Structure 1
Amino acid sequence: MTDHARDLESVREATGRLLAAAAALDNAAVTQPSRLPGWSRGHVLAHLSRNADAFVNVLDGRPMYVSDADRDADIARDAARPLPEHLADLRASTARMERAAVLTTDWTRTVELRNGVTDTAARLPFRRWAEVELHHVDLDTGYELEHLPEEFTEREIGFLAARFAGRTDVPATRLTDTTRAWTTGEEAADPAIVVTGARAGLLGWLAGRRAGDGLSVTGGELPALPPL
């Protein structure tokens, strides 16, 4: 069972780590490229702030974003701001999300996210945790996939493996770090393709952050995954 209160605390801790890393930058560094193609570090920080507000919208029963075009325009508008404005915005938007969570009484209800995706309200804190952790890596400040909390890495591998499960454009695949296994892609009782590696490598591949570095593949080639 998802423990939304515990996940909210994990979000606070992860946000604190990210804010500390971002605070060590300067205005020039904010304009430099992040690890996400076409995005500066400022784009990443702006997205995290607007994403926190988007989760407030979901918790309050409103659409997550007005539209994809508005979402992209807001990020582009805010990306070039000076670092202090980014930090203040992220702190304020995080506080708004925390207040919305405190006011939420029904965590069992179904909520709608982007592109018609639905989930239970109790899973929203974990989704936000994933945004903060993975985008912290994207900032390229020295925080790597290997530095992610073990609990988060294991849960996010399971989350992403389930996200691609049943897709006909992803061959049936078994993932393992030799201690635990997950399956993804087309349904099959015994997937022919087996991908083995450290959890950070498995997560990097599933999340589109790595091309499969350090992973070994048997039974075929490393599958190409759809964008998240």
Structure 2
Amino acid sequence: MIDPKRDLDAVHEATERLLTAAASLDNAATSGPSRLPGWTRGHVLAHLARNADALVNVLEGRPMYESAAAREADIERDAPRALTEQLADLRASADRIQAAGERDTDWSRTVELRNGVTDSASRLPFRRLVEVELHHVDLDIGYELEDLPKEFTERETDFLAQRFSGHADVPPTRILTDAGEWHTGGPGGTPVTVSGPAADVLGWLAGRRDGAALEVSGGLLPALPPL
């Protein structure tokens, strides 16, 4: 069952971990490359701050972003800032989303995100948790997929398996980890079975690893559409 208040607590804890880790950087490291192609660590930090504000917009009934172009421009504008500015902005934006989530909210309502995607308001805190946890890994500062909380890894694996379920470009796929079993991909046919450590499976589903560490039977490792 989705518990948005509990997820808000998890967001706070994950944000504190990220801020503590990022505080050990310096300006040179902040301008260095992240694990995301074309993005520095400054881009990742700027994106996290602006994503928090975007989710506040959603919670308060406004469009998530003014436009796709404005979203990109804001990230490019904020990416080159000094580390102290990045961390202060990220903390302030985290406080804003925490405050918005703690106000009386109709978590049962449907909200609109980017590109016409809709979801229950109750899932927004978990969506923010995904941003914080995975982008902490993307910063490439010592936090790995193996360090993610076990519950988060299982929930995000479940979320991504649902996301690709029924997708015409993904063959029927059975996913096995030591935490459980999931089914995804299109209907019909004998499923490909993909198995391996939970962190490697999540890395493959989330586009963070190429799946080379996974075992595949019944076909080739499915190529997944970008998130």
Q: The TM-score by the shorter chain falls in which range? A: over 0.9
Distance 2:104 2:54 in 1: 15
Instruction: Specify the code of the residue in structure 1 equivalent to 2:83.
Output: L
Distance 1:224 1:106 in 2: 38
Shift of 1:191: 4.0
Aligned-residue Cα RMSD (Å) equals 1.0
Instruction: Specify the code of the residue in structure 2 equivalent to 1:125.
Output: P
Distance 1:209 1:179 in 2: 19
* Contact 2:154–2:179, Cα closer than 8 Å, also in 1: no
Distance 1:213 1:49 in 2: 33
Distance 2:178 2:80 in 1: 44
Which residue number corresponds to residue 109 of structure 1? 109
Q: Which runs of 4+ in 1 moved over 2 A?
A: none
* Contact 2:166–2:184, Cα closer than 8 Å, also in 1: yes
* Contact 1:33–1:41, Cα closer than 8 Å, also in 2: yes
Shift of 1:168: 0.5
Distance 2:83 2:67 in 1: 27
Distance 1:178 1:21 in 2: 29
* 2:138 aligned with 1:138: yes
Which residue number corresponds to residue 213 of structure 1? 212
Distance 1:98 1:176 in 2: 35
Instruction: Specify the code of the residue in structure 1 equivalent to 2:41.
Output: R
TM-score of the two chains, using structure 1 as the length reference: 0.98
Shift of 1:179: 4.8
Distance 1:47 1:213 in 2: 29
Shift of 1:103: 1.9
Ranges in structure 1 where 5+ consecutive residues have no aligned partner: none
Instruction: Specify the code of the residue in structure 1 equivalent to 2:200.
Output: G
Deviations 1:130-187 (A, max 9, x none): 0000000000001000000000000000000100110101111010015511011102
SS in structure 2 of the partner of residue 166 of structure 1: coil
* Contact 1:59–1:104, Cα closer than 8 Å, also in 2: no
SS in structure 1 of the partner of residue 25 of structure 2: coil
Instruction: Specify the code of the residue in structure 2 equivalent to 1:157.
Output: T
* Contact 2:158–2:182, Cα closer than 8 Å, also in 1: yes
* 2:14 aligned with 1:14: yes
SS in structure 2 of the partner of residue 220 of structure 1: coil
Shift of 1:105: 2.3
* 2:222 aligned with 1:223: yes
The alignment covers a number of residue pairs equal to 227
Identity %: 67
Ranges in structure 2 where 5+ consecutive residues have no aligned partner: none
* Contact 1:174–1:191, Cα closer than 8 Å, also in 2: no
Which residue number corresponds to residue 56 of structure 1? 56
Shift of 1:99: 1.2
**Greater Cα shift, 173-182 or 211-220:** 173-182
Deviations 1:182-207 (A, max 9, x none): 0111023x742000001101100000
Shift of 1:104: 3.6
SS in structure 2 of the partner of residue 217 of structure 1: strand
SS in structure 2 of the partner of residue 38 of structure 1: coil
